[in-house]
């Protein structure tokens, strides 16, 4: 079963559009939306497992220029 999560992202001022474009190129990212308020970007991702999720967040999302902070929330199936 896939691991699905919401990733809330804080970015440096003026970098939101660039970060959203970079996020949409990451395998597993199904949606990436900028918004008003905090956080700056909401991402919905679906990957193979929690290890893959961790790898994506640490090695791909955090590597995007402008990303300052992330907060990951794994979806709990009811």
Structure tokens given for 48: 């193979």
Q: How many CA atoms lie within 13 A of 39 on its CB side?
A: 20
The total domain count for the chain is: 1
pTM assigned to the model = 0.93
CATH number reported for the structural domain that contains residue 63 in this entry? 3.30.70.920
CA distances from 25 to 29, 37, 61 (A): 8, 24, 11
What's the pLDDT tens digit per position in 15-55? 999 999 999 999 999 999 999 989 999 999 999 999 999 99
Rounded Cα distance, 16 and 37, in Å: 12
* Rounded mean pLDDT, 58-70: 98
Domain of residue 10, residue span: 3-74
């Amino acid at each position: 079963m896939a691991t699905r999560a919401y990733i809330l992202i804080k970015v440096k001022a003026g970098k939101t559009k660039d970060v959203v474009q970079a996020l949409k190129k990451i395998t597993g990212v199904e949606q990436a939306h900028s918004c008003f308020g905090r956080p700056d970007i909401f991402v919905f991702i679906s990957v193979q497992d929690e290890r893959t999720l961790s790898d994506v967040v640490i090695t791909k999302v955090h590597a995007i220029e402008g990303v300052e902070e992330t907060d990951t929330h794994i979806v709990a199936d009811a």
